[in-house]
Amino acid sequence: MIVGIDEVGRGAWAGPMAVGAVMLGGATIVGLTDSKKLTKKQRERLDIEIRQQATAIGIGWVSARQIDQMGLSAALKLAARRALRHIQHEYHEIIIDGTIALIDDPRVTLMKKADLLVPSVSAASIVAKVARDNYMQHIDMVFPGYKFAAHVGYGTAMHRKVIETRGVTPLHRLSYIPLAQYDRPISVGPTFADNDPTLSAVITTKQIGDAAEDEATNYLLRQGHKIVTRNWRTKFCEIDIISRRGDTVYFTEVKYRKTDAQGGGLAAITAKKRRQMTFAAEYYALKNDLTNINLRLAAVDVSGQPPQVKNFLKLG
């Protein structure tokens, strides 16, 4: 009963820092190692397996503004505490990658290269890396031209050149020496919310919704689905995602909640909503002459920022 903890994004010039906490609880997942030694495709595959098999997973976030205000060390510890709050199971040991005691607990063990040696720490490294990379990918749409999806906030030559040309954004860490010459820009809206670091208000409601559907779509693709269409609408009904796997066509409703505290998104799939979904699926099948094929309703529960799939439910 070990909780592994690792951070991602400490050295980045922009974007939030994320700390992952994972309790595998005896699950054996082949291929776990330091996330930096894996390809993007490998990390995403392992991220799915970890979320399916781990006993508990937590990700703690701190914003660039918080890092600037409290310093890197204090921000790291805050993110670690936030991640550990999600572990609601009994555990006997906390293993943290590195030499800094991010958690004040007698059960803590510090270990260099733990992300290579301890499976739960490797898992924490992977889920934090995938979550942060997904966030930076969506931020790329908010600040076009900064190429956040490519460098994910790190001080690459590409990133340096963009900053020299365009200046900094509200997501840049001005306490870092290379950026100290800049003044924090005035945001057109709230920045990454300091009182709730799982939310990013620089992203509009529509962009968050689109990001949630993107995450649900990627989840289905990783599960072997072929996407037929998205946001299919008529004046009578609509369907978020239509996909096909084998001899079955799935009609999936995506339900997003900003935080877990708001309750699961699947609670919104009421009896009335299921009747609407059934009508939409039958109407689509009729218009597209789908015969000799199974039709199935499904729902994806997505929450957090960046959005993460919590549950996939086959409704019938």
pLDDT digits (tens, 9 = 90+) for 159-189: 999 999 989 998 999 999 999 898 877 553 4
What is the CATH classification number for the domain harbouring 226?
3.40.1350.10
Residue at a domain's end among 82, 113, 131: 131
| 124 and 30 co-located in one domain | yes
Going by C-alpha positions, the residue among 127, 149, 102 that lies closest to residue 18 is 127
* 302 falls within a domain: yes
| 126 and 6 co-located in one domain | yes
Question: What CA–CA distance (Å, rounded) separates 93 from 40?
Answer: 30
Do 115 and 35 touch, CB atoms closer than 8 A?
A: yes
Q: How many residues are there in the chain? A: 316
Count of C-beta atoms within a 10 Å radius of residue 254: 25
Do 241 and 252 touch, CB atoms closer than 8 A?
A: yes
Rounded mean pLDDT of the chain? 85
| 29 and 121 co-located in one domain | yes
Q: What is the mean pLDDT of residues 201-206?
A: 49
* 99 falls within a domain: yes
Question: What CA–CA distance (Å, rounded) separates 97 from 112?
Answer: 6
* 190 falls within a domain: no
| 113 and 221 co-located in one domain | no
Summarize pLDDT for 93-111 with one digit per residue, the tens. Answer: 999 999 989 999 999 999 9
Question: What CA–CA distance (Å, rounded) separates 21 from 84?
Answer: 6
What letter represents residue 120's amino acid?
A: S
Work out the pLDDT band at 277, boundaries 50, 70, 90. confident
pLDDT score of 265 more than 70: no
What is the CATH classification number for the domain harbouring 109?
3.30.420.10
Domain count, the chain: 2
Question: What CA–CA distance (Å, rounded) separates 56 from 81?
Answer: 15
* 296 falls within a domain: yes
CA 170 and chain centroid, separation: 20
Question: What CA–CA distance (Å, rounded) separates 198 from 223?
Answer: 26
Residue at a domain's end among 101, 131, 161: 131
Q: Say what the pLDDT of residue 201 is.
A: 38
Going by C-alpha positions, the residue among 106, 58, 66, 109 that lies closest to residue 85 is 58
Q: Say what the pLDDT of residue 189 is.
A: 40
| 214 and 120 co-located in one domain | no
Going by C-alpha positions, the residue among 244, 265, 268, 270 that lies closest to residue 307 is 265
* 90 falls within a domain: yes
Residue at a domain's end among 105, 131, 157: 131
Residue 67, domain extent:
2-131
pLDDT score of 192 more than 80: no
Q: Say what the pLDDT of residue 197 is.
A: 42
pLDDT score of 27 more than 50: yes
pLDDT score of 74 more than 90: yes
Of 22-26, 83-87, 134-138, 305-309, where does mean pLDDT reach its minimum?
305-309
H or E element: which one contains 131?
A: helix 119-142
Going by C-alpha positions, the residue among 192, 222, 182 that lies closest to residue 9 is 192
